[in-house]
Amino acid sequence: MLVLFTDLDGTLLDHHSYDWQPARPAITHLQSLHHALILTTSKARAEVTQLHADMGLADPIIVENGGALCLPPGYFGPPPEGSLPRDGWDILELGAPYPALVEALRRAAATSGVRVRGFSEMDIDEVARRTGLPLETARLSHQREYDEPFVVEEGDPALLCAAIDAAGFQWTRGGRFFHIIQGCDKAKAVQALTALYRRHHPVERTIGLGDGLNDAKFLRAVDSAWLIPSAQTAQLAPLVPNARIAPHPGPAGWAHAVTAELAA
């Protein structure tokens, strides 16, 4: 089987409209061949599980920049050791608890003299305005567990990021926000889930699709990587030198890449 790990915003989803319909035929073809499609994202679990259901998917998901693996019960047989049953999923937590991240960001901002605004300070209307999401989806997006998205409002982001590093936390940058995390990233989650797949299935190869700088590590952790064109492609391409670049942005480029992989 093939195991495909895909970023969402700007990759499988259009960066502005969040539409994924141009990718629907490729998703249907993928499912008909019994390959796995893993949504691999910085989005919150509540938002991704809704999208997962809307797409008719049945495979695990990776949320909040690798903060957790969410497994459908029984997907790999008995629940993996250390997993927690929650909201109809078996959750393997890899990241730090959200309150610790909010406090670490506050301290790093004070230390560096950089003014930031995190999701924890935003109400639903502001999240919707900054992301372009409908209010109900913004409400789901706001339910963070392992990753605090934030924007830099004043000061040098490099000073803030150095303060985050010095405190023993990590940061990454997506298409809209910086993120503070600890002990996790998309690559570690991809590697952990790939190990589970290889333990239970004959995996032919793993495939990764992404468009942002926060996708670089996980794209280097798969057998075949694709970059979906975006404003960050020029910076991302040197970080994933063996990746192919799709001819179109968003779900149209995604569909091209998946179709090419299925024909390989």
- Strand order, beta sheet including 115-118: 115-118, 148-154, 178-181, 170-173
pLDDT score at 221: 97
The catalytically annotated residue of 7, 147, 185, 211 is: 7
How, if at all, do strands 89-93 and 84-86 pair? antiparallel
* pTM score of the predicted model: 0.93
Q: Which residues contact 227 (CB under 8 A, 6 or more apart)?
A: 210, 211, 219, 233, 236, 237, 240, 243, 244, 245, 246
Q: Supply 245's token pair.
A: 């670049």
Q: Supply 31's token pair.
A: 């499912």
**Apex CA 229: angle with CA 247 and CA 24, to 5°?**
70
CATH superfamily of the 98-181 domain: Putative mannosyl-3-phosphoglycerate phosphatase; domain 2 (3.30.980.20)
Domain residue ranges of the chain, discontinuous segments joined by +:
2-95+185-263, 98-181
User: Which amino acid type is present at position 8?
Assistant: L
Cβ–Cβ under 8 Å, residues 179 and 63: no
Q: Which residues contact 119 (CB under 8 A, 6 or more apart)?
A: 127, 142, 144, 148, 149, 150
- Measured CA to CA, the distance from residue 253 to residue 24 in angstroms comes to 12
User: Which amino acid type is present at position 162?
Assistant: A
Cβ–Cβ under 8 Å, residues 91 and 69: yes
Of 182, 106, 122, 186, whose CA–CA distance to 146 is shortest? 182
pLDDT score at 173: 87
pLDDT score at 175: 79
**Apex CA 250: angle with CA 245 and CA 253, to 5°?**
45
DSSP state of 229: P
Cβ–Cβ under 8 Å, residues 6 and 38: yes
Matching CATH topology for 2-95+185-263 and 98-181?
Answer: no
Active site residue 90: no
- Measured CA to CA, the distance from residue 129 to residue 138 in angstroms comes to 9
pLDDT by position in tens, the chain (length 264)? 999 999 999 999 999 999 999 999 999 999 999 999 999 999 999 999 999 999 999 999 999 999 999 999 999 999 999 999 999 999 999 999 999 999 999 999 999 999 999 999 999 999 999 999 999 999 999 999 999 999 999 999 999 999 999 999 999 888 789 999 999 999 999 999 999 999 999 999 999 999 999 899 999 999 999 999 999 999 999 999 999 999 999 999 999 999 999 998
Residue 142: C-alpha distances to residues 42, 58, 139 (Å): 12, 24, 5
- Measured CA to CA, the distance from residue 115 to residue 81 in angstroms comes to 41
pLDDT score at 57: 98
The CATH-assigned architecture of domain 2-95+185-263 is 3-Layer(aba) Sandwich (3.40)
pLDDT score at 202: 95
